[in-house]
Chain A
Amino acid sequence: MSEKPTLSIDLKLPLQPFTLRCSTTLAEQVTGLFGPSGSGKTSLVETITGLRRNAKGRIVFGDTVWMDSDQNIFLPPEQRGIGFVPQRGLLFPHLNVRQNLLFGSKRAKPNAEKSAQASRDLFDQVVDILNLGELLHRKPAALSGGERQRVAAGRAVCSNPQLLILDEPLSSLDLALRYKTLAFFIRLVNDLKLSMIWVSHDAIEVQAICDELIVIERGEFTHRGNPVQVLSNPKVFPTLEFSGFQNVLPCRIVESTEVQTRVRLDGGSAQLILSETIRDQKNEPGASAFVTIPARSILISTENPSHVSAGNRLPSTIVRIEPQSQSVAAVLVQLKNQSDQSPLVIELTTAALNRLKLEQGQSVYVLIKSTACVLQTVGQNST
């Protein structure tokens, strides 16, 4: 794979009731755009795809100028080499799944070395990764919501895009289905090394799939960085949905028995025991998965408790304490034997914080009930 092209955006986009302004460069593989509805996310990605034409400014991808209002350059969407997955899926109702997938494969501007054989391979790979084999002859009307979004993603990927833009691709699905479908998207990223812009207002999604997160509020980029760091920021943390902050930890399955599942967290050797059991051939030991744990369901102990029901007692170090309000604080801890990429976020009351006299750098034990962890398997990595 050659050097990944970067996307430079310098835009002024008039919206109601504010003007979206941004000047930035996106270089990570998966960048998340996170913000409440009405913050300008969709308008921004529509401008990047070329479907919205009323912006002023400049968009450059690699060394191709997509748009420059000063020089009157506007590359139409079909020449930008992008794949777009909209919230509503928008499958072509008159075509079956196979025809939908192949709709963009005759892309006007293919990557130079791509031959017919390569595009054939891509089709087979996409069908395999997204598990679409049995759906190929169905019409969109006969698909479920999750299937529709998978086909929409597959159709965009089959057009061999240089950049995939997804506008809340899972928000039309209910929660249970949402994270199952998310697993397919994670496999797309892992197996095909796609570059993506992932628009969402779901904190679990963006942590599970994004390398970098940008928070957008009323047309301004307010926060940017590693997803966990951004989401635990006191300005962002309180805005998270009803269930509060969720830790999302990528992992591999170590073993799954009749009564529990043991996983090893990516980026280290720490292990977690979950009460969930899985009986699926695809999820044999070694398969990737992610675990979600609500920040509110994790306990901290200053000593190693021996008589406690929690299945996981993990030695850790406090990295940072972020007061969120008068009564609540987020404590970021580093699990022992884990890289410092992804701290665990724990929500504590200020009272508990004071009682235990917790401070940065302190060694503590993190207690997690096995039943508080939710496992979502991603499947075997093809590599």
Chain B
Amino acid sequence: MSSSAWNAILLTIQVSTLATLIIFVPAVLLAWWFARRESVTSHFLFSLFGLPMVLPPTAVGYLLLQLLADEGPMGPVLMGLNLNLLLTWQAAVLAAAVMAFPLVIRTAKVAFENVDSDLEAIGRTLGRGPWSTFATVSLPLASRGLLAAAILGFTRAVGEFGATITVAGNIPGKTQTIASAIYSSQQSGNRTEAAVLVVFALCLGWIAIFCTELLIRRSTIASRQP
């Protein structure tokens, strides 16, 4: 395997893992809130967080670019410090995180919806506050579904292309991920490298989908009332 392919694989795993870790906790908390509170605000926010799923990824990348630009809301002028994110691997993490967020929230929300909310109510009558009930009832009962959410988020991050290439570029050894490496090798006619990367992506994706299916099926059985 060429070193550029190997670099792309390592960087992709690093970027996707970090992106998943960053979004997991906020996504789980928001998903719980969305699953339990039906209000105009929650519907509004839920659809807002879903946008990266329906927008062209390059559009999301463009918006991120505007956000991080010199005059943007997160740019050096308004923030007072220069994050220097553009065209770095950290920008790839940001792009992957934003793109994976809706999928993680949606899967986690379903996991919480499968937990009987009456069980949480019982927890409250037994003297536990809302957070304690969340930690001892909702979280363990949703755990399989939440793990599935994390795996799906990770795979979404692995496959990210449009937003990543817009904010992080496609610099071999620096910001080139599997997706952009496949694109480059295909463009340059390097069929072997493209094939190696495609096979790797295929295996990773297949294992991930298989695990999620297994987890989601088991979680619906486990959280069902006897």
Contacts and interface: CB of A to CB of B under 8 A. Distances in A.
Interface residues of A, number: 31
Interface residues of A, dominant DSSP:
loop
A78 interface: yes
A92 B121 CA distance: 11
A92 B137 contact: yes
A76 interface: yes
Interface stretch (A30-38, A101-109, A178-186, A208-216): A101-109
Nearest to B125: A84
B124 A78 contact: yes
Interface string A72-104: 000011101111101010111110000000011
Nearest to A76: B124
B222 A94 contact: yes
A104 B128 contact: yes
Contacts of A82: 125
B56 interface: no
Contact of A88 (B118, B124, B125, B130): B118
A103 B141 contact: no
Contacts of B141: 92-94
Contacts of B225: 88, 90, 93
A90 B119 contact: yes
A156 B127 CA distance: 10
Interface centre among A81, A82, A93, A104 (most CB of B within 10 A): A93
Nearest to B126: A104
Contacts of A143: 226
Nearest to B123: A103
Interface residues on B, range: 20 to 34
A63 B147 CA distance: 47
Contacts of A88: 118, 225
A148 interface: yes
B209 interface: no
Contacts of A78: 124-129
B63 to A, nearest CB: 40
B140 A94 contact: yes
Interface residues of B, dominant DSSP:
helix
B127 A159 contact: yes
Interface in B190-226: 222-226
Contact of B127 (A91, A93, A109, A140): A109
Nearest to A152: B122
A148 B226 CA distance: 9
B222 A108 contact: no
B118 A103 contact: no
B134 to A, nearest CB: 13
B186 interface: no
A142 to B, nearest CB: 8
Given A49-B125, A51-B125, A103-B136, A140 B226 contact: yes
A187 interface: no
A91 B224 CA distance: 11
Contacts of B140: 94
B116 interface: yes
Contact of A108 (B119, B127, B136): B127
Contacts of A156: 125-126
Interface centre among B121, B130, B141 (most CB of A within 10 A): B121
Contact of B125 (A77, A94, A148): A77
Interface centre among B137, B140, B223, B226 (most CB of A within 10 A): B226
Interface string B126-169: 11111000001100110000000000000000000000000000
A118 interface: no
Nearest to A103: B126
B118 A86 contact: yes
B124 A77 contact: yes
A90 B123 CA distance: 10
A108 B129 contact: yes
A279 B126 CA distance: 38
A84 B129 contact: no
29 contacts: A49-B125, A50-B124, A50-B125, A51-B121, A51-B125, A76-B124, A76-B129, A77-B121, A77-B124, A83-B125, A90-B119, A90-B122, A92-B119, A92-B122, A92-B123, A92-B137, A93-B141, A93-B222, A93-B225, A94-B141, A94-B222, A104-B128, A107-B126, A109-B127, A140-B226, A141-B226, A143-B226, A148-B226, A155-B126
Given A51-B125, A90-B119, A104-B125, 18 more contacts: A49-B125, A50-B125, A76-B129, A77-B125, A81-B127, A83-B125, A86-B118, A88-B118, A88-B225, A92-B123, A92-B137, A93-B223, A103-B136, A107-B127, A108-B129, A143-B226, A156-B125, A156-B126
